[in-house]
Structure 1
Amino acid sequence: MDSTTATAGHFLKLLLLLLLFSSSEGLSERCHPDDKKALLRIKKDLNSPRNFISWDPSVDCCQWNIIECDPQTNRVVILSVLLADLNLPMPLSVGDLSHLEQLIFHKTNLTGPIPQTLSRLSKLRFLDLTWNHLTGPVPSFLGDLKNLDYIGLSFNNLTGSIPASLSQLPKLTGLLLDRNGLTGGVPKSLADFQAESFYLYLSHNQLSGTIPRRWGEANFFTYIDMSRNRIEGDISFLFGKNKSLNFADFSRNMLQFDMSKMELGKRLGTLNVNHNRITGRLPEGLVELENIDLNVSYNRLCGRIPVGENRHLQSLDYTAYFHNKCLCGEPLPECA
């Protein structure tokens, strides 16, 4: 064998070794074994092969669908199950995904209570369990998950009161508890959040009592929807010239206060207080809100609808004002 042939043979052997090495590197599994073990238990508990068809034990779990691994740590950080017909409780093994940052079960027909095992997810930032059949209370242990910035529990069958512990979440910017069966009062502590802006959805429950005065001292509420509850009393203190509130819906409650001297901030874009017991006149400050979406129908208001330069209040449909005690002026009939 001449030297050229020997050199070529040596080169081929080296190339083969490199290919084998790169192949073995490609076959190495990124997914942490603890995460993979937990995910396979979740698949077994949910007994839904259609939704977890890619969860093959022989495949790296970072390549499975509906999950995502962190590119640096290779730990599972997202579990997102959408539009599944599970009809089972949430698997307790979800709590074993210790690095989980986003947990989503949206429109999956989950049943039963929200399990205590979620209290172990200390890194969790985003929790979306909307549109399911969850029962039991809103868990107070959610207040221990200090990284949460979003809680979505809308469209379930949750009961009981809103836990005051939720105010202990320093990063929370969105709390969605609407369309459940929640009862009791609204906690004063919800005024203690530290966010610059906050979205609060509490509509379609059975909440009662008055809005705490402490809420008026807060200036981070951007969106409040408390429609279709049993809230009483005054809410005028939530509004003011320098308030951040952009959307306020308190329709279909039992509010009773004089609206005449209510101050409205320039950021207010929607105000809906229909079907209450509000008295007085419409505040003149409404004319300064050129594009406000307003509905004050089915109350006990009187007096002329204010007229501004752009006549925006007159351009609204009459249904925004009708069924009041003696409210008048365009688009309603002229005042006597």
Structure 2
Amino acid sequence: MSKTTPPSLHFFTILFFFTLPFHGNAQNITAQEQTILLQLKSYLSNPPYISHWIPSSDHCMWPEITCTNGRVTKLEIINVNITKTIPTFICDLKNLSYIDLHLNKIPESFPAVLYNCSNLEYLDLSQNLLVGRIPDDITRLSSRLQVLNLSINSFTGDIPASIGSFPQLKSLQLYSNLFNGSIPPEIGNLSNLEELNLNFNPFLPQAIPSREIPESVGNLTALEFLDLSENGLSGSIPNSLFLLKNLTVVYLYKNRLSGSIPRTVEALNLEVIDLSNNTLMGTIPDDYEKLTKLTGLALFFNQLSGEVPIGIGRLPSLIGYWVIQQ
């Protein structure tokens, strides 16, 4: 009489068959990722700040590395005086989504090698020695990018129009560079943008075909923080700006903005408004009386007239306001 294999044993055999190769593949990927990181250590000339990167330890436990499900997803090497460019093999870490190399001395131009990091969501290269123009093909970075911080470098020329082509971008930090070209209206296409900081750049009036704040800023429906201070901008403040309902902070001080302050305010979450050091005229909008979350209001060194709306002095959160009218 022949014996038959129980169905449960068949299932176990099949499961065991499919599990073995996968487990082996996972081990191979883990070993490959550690090899890449050790290659990075060698490329950086075996510096003391990552002396703990050794083959006998688990690279997912290294402080500069974060792993998710055993895969390297985050690389943070901050303020250690890196003086070399970013190597091409960095994107061989296929799951890498977060790179923070700020406060180093990384030289040369924007590192196009990062175009190969297909899962990149967060990139901070601020406070380095990067120079030249931001390339027009920067859109070759991952479309999943949510944070781009290139502040405190020496980038020059225009901010490329292509910067407006990142559908998921929430934070764009380009302050304290040497941009002396134009601010593209395409920034208004970043519908998920929450933070935009372009201040401390020498945007020269004669070099900017349209040196005004574009009306399309009103398309940034997710915008919370806007800093365009000290940029030599002229023209009027777009009426659409104060219709952004998520807006909390507006810094437009030390520009050449003229005309009246927009009368209609629907940004009821505003906490700080600084429009000082411009040439704004007219009266302070009555709608400012509705800003119950406002803690700071600076309108001094303009050419405003009329009375300060009485309700501003009664705003419950206001710590101080500065309005020197002429």
User: Which of the five TM-score ranges fits, normalised by the shorter chain?
Assistant: 0.7 to 0.9
- How well do the aligned residues superpose, as a CA RMSD in angstroms? 2.6
How far residue 85 of structure 1 moved from its aligned partner, in angstroms, is 1.7
Residues of 2 paired with 1:193 and 1:47: CA distance?
40
Gaps of 5+ in 1: 1-24, 327-336
Alpha carbons of structure 1 residues 183 and 234: separation in structure 2 relative to 1, 3 Å: same
CA contact (8 A) 1:175 1:201 kept: yes
1:304 to 304, 307, 313: 307
How far residue 83 of structure 1 moved from its aligned partner, in angstroms, is 2.0
Alpha carbons of structure 1 residues 193 and 260: separation in structure 2 relative to 1, 3 Å: closer
1:181 to 178, 182, 186: 178
**1:51 corresponds to:** 49
How far residue 31 of structure 1 moved from its aligned partner, in angstroms, is 5.4
CA contact (8 A) 1:290 1:310 kept: no
CA contact (8 A) 1:55 1:65 kept: no
Alpha carbons of structure 1 residues 258 and 125: separation in structure 2 relative to 1, 3 Å: same
1:166 aligns with 2:187: no
Residues of 2 paired with 1:67 and 1:180: CA distance?
29
Residues of 2 paired with 1:36 and 1:98: CA distance?
13
Of residues 152-161 and 84-93 in structure 1, the stretch that sits farther from structure 2 once superposed is: 84-93
Residues of 1 paired with 2:254 and 2:197: CA distance?
15
Between the two proteins, the alignment pairs up a number of residues equal to 294
**Which residues of 2 match residues 208-247 of structure 1 at below 5 A?**
208=208, 209-240=211-242, 243-247=245-249
1:67 to 65, 68, 71: 65
2:108 to 96, 107, 112: 112
Amino acid at match of 1:131: Q
Secondary structure of the 1:166 match is: helix
Residues of 2 paired with 1:114 and 1:132: CA distance?
11
How far residue 55 of structure 1 moved from its aligned partner, in angstroms, is 1.4
Residues of 2 paired with 1:131 and 1:155: CA distance?
5
CA contact (8 A) 2:191 2:219 kept: no
Alpha carbons of structure 1 residues 64 and 245: separation in structure 2 relative to 1, 3 Å: closer
Secondary structure of the 1:256 match is: strand
* Aligned structure 1 segments of 4 or more residues deviating by more than 6 angstroms: none
Q: Could you report, residue by residue, the CA deviation over 1:197-255 in whole angstroms, capped at 9, with x for unpaired residues?
A: 52111111123501122223442222111111111111132334563322111111111
**1:151 corresponds to:** 148
Q: Could you report, residue by residue, the CA deviation over 1:168-195 in whole angstroms, capped at 9, with x for unpaired residues?
A: 2121111111111122222121111232
Q: Could you report, residue by residue, the CA deviation over 1:45-101 in whole angstroms, capped at 9, with x for unpaired residues?
A: 222521211111344433433112332xx3321111122122332233323322211
Residue identity (%): 26
Residues of 2 paired with 1:247 and 1:78: CA distance?
30
**2:287 corresponds to:** 285
**1:3 corresponds to:** none
**2:80 corresponds to:** 84
Q: TM-score of the superposition, structure 1-length normalised?
A: 0.79
Secondary structure of the 1:82 match is: coil
CA contact (8 A) 2:268 2:293 kept: no
CA contact (8 A) 2:213 2:233 kept: yes
- Higher alpha-carbon Rg: 1
1:268 aligns with 2:270: yes
How far residue 262 of structure 1 moved from its aligned partner, in angstroms, is 4.9
Q: Could you report, residue by residue, the CA deviation over 1:4-62 in whole angstroms, capped at 9, with x for unpaired residues?
A: xxxxxxxxxxxxxxxxxxxxx9xx96753442333223212222521211111344433
Q: TM-score of the superposition, structure 2-length normalised?
A: 0.81
Q: Could you report, residue by residue, the CA deviation over 1:248-277 in whole angstroms, capped at 9, with x for unpaired residues?
A: 111111111122735353222211111111
Amino acid at match of 2:301: Y
Residues of 2 paired with 1:42 and 1:136: CA distance?
25
1:198 aligns with 2:198: no
Secondary structure of the 2:284 match is: coil
**2:4 corresponds to:** none
Of residues 161-170 and 247-256 in structure 1, the stretch that sits farther from structure 2 once superposed is: 161-170
